[in-house]
Amino acid sequence: MEFTYEDLTADEYHHRVAVYQPLTAALRELLDAVIRTEVDDATVHSATETISEVTAALRAQQIPGAYGVRHTAEGRGMAWGNAVIGLRNAIAPPLTVVRGSVTDPVVAHADVELGAAYEGPPGHVHGGVVSLLFDQVLGEAASMTGLPSYTGTLTIRYLRPTPLGPLRIEAFTPERDGRKTLARAAMLVDGAVTAEAEGLFISPRGMTPLHPFAGESR
């Protein structure tokens, strides 16, 4: 598992954000539209053809595999394929994780609005999606020292169904012991907790610290 350094100027970085963020947002809109549309069959067939043409145009030049986790010389993270925060991943809600300091009571939090694409029980968030979001926020909270930490264990307590719509996740790290970090988080809707998570996050042996985390994830 290797992180990739990409030698980008700040201008080129911002240029890429400006090019790809709207593309991903448009695709996210498309996902929602496909789930909720009630147009006639002919319109669906026509839309299918148009989408295939767009896919073929984008496939004209591709990287061979996944995007990877890249970072620039200035320490800007570019986890743009990430399933939760990826700037180029329409499956990602996307979540923007706001990181404070390891000494703050809440070391990382995220506000997000989940729509039809994240449904499990009727009108409510899929349990796996709840777990997915927790995993990312807890992982980032555990990695805030700059040493990337991966999920060793993750336990979720689903207290009540989480309705689709706006929600907040707050994470903290009560214990750090060498490469191991215990992290906990709560999911809140209108200030009420719908789910809680606890995980042990471990920095693999020999891992070197990346740029210390601060601000928001990308």
Ligand X SMILES: CCCCCCCCCCCC(=O)SCCNC(=O)CCNC(=O)[C@H](O)C(C)(C)COP(=O)(O)OP(=O)(O)OC[C@H]1O[C@@H](n2cnc3c(N)ncnc32)[C@H](O)[C@@H]1OP(=O)(O)O
Measuring CA to CA, which residue among 144, 36, 26, 20 is closest to residue 86?
A: 20
Min dist CB 143 to ligand X, Å, is: 4
Residue with nearest beta carbon to ligand X: 139
Q: Give CB contacts under 8 A, 24+ apart, made by 29-35.
A: 30/90, 31/90, 31/91, 31/117, 32/115, 32/116, 32/117, 35/116, 35/117
Beta bridge partners of 86: none
Min dist CB 183 to ligand X, Å, is: 10
Q: Is 148 in the site for ligand X (CB under 6 A)?
A: yes
Residue 119 DSSP code: B
User: Which two tokens mark 149?
Assistant: 């930490």
Instruction: Rank residues 85 and 164 by Cβ distance to ligand X and give the closer one.
Output: 85
Please, are residues 99 and 144 in contact by the beta-carbon 8 Å criterion? yes
Q: Is 200 in the site for ligand X (CB under 6 A)?
A: yes
Q: Is 135 in the site for ligand X (CB under 6 A)?
A: yes
Q: Which of 71, 88, 99, 124 binds ligand X (CB under 6 A)?
A: 71
Min dist CB 6 to ligand X, Å, is: 12
Beta bridge partners of 117: none
- Which H helix or E strand runs over 158? strand 150-158
Q: Which of residues 162-181 bind ligand X (CB under 6 A)?
A: 179-180
Q: Which of 4, 46, 48, 153 binds ligand X (CB under 6 A)?
A: 153
Round to the nearest angstrom and report the end-to-end CA distance of the chain: 19
Q: Which of 90, 95, 130, 136 binds ligand X (CB under 6 A)?
A: 136
Alpha helices in 37-86 (DSSP H): 41-59
Q: Which of 150, 163, 182, 198 binds ligand X (CB under 6 A)?
A: 150
The residues of the shown chain that bind ligand X, judged by CB under 6 A, are: 69, 71, 77, 79, 135-136, 139-140, 143, 148, 150-153, 179-180, 200, 202, 204-205, 210
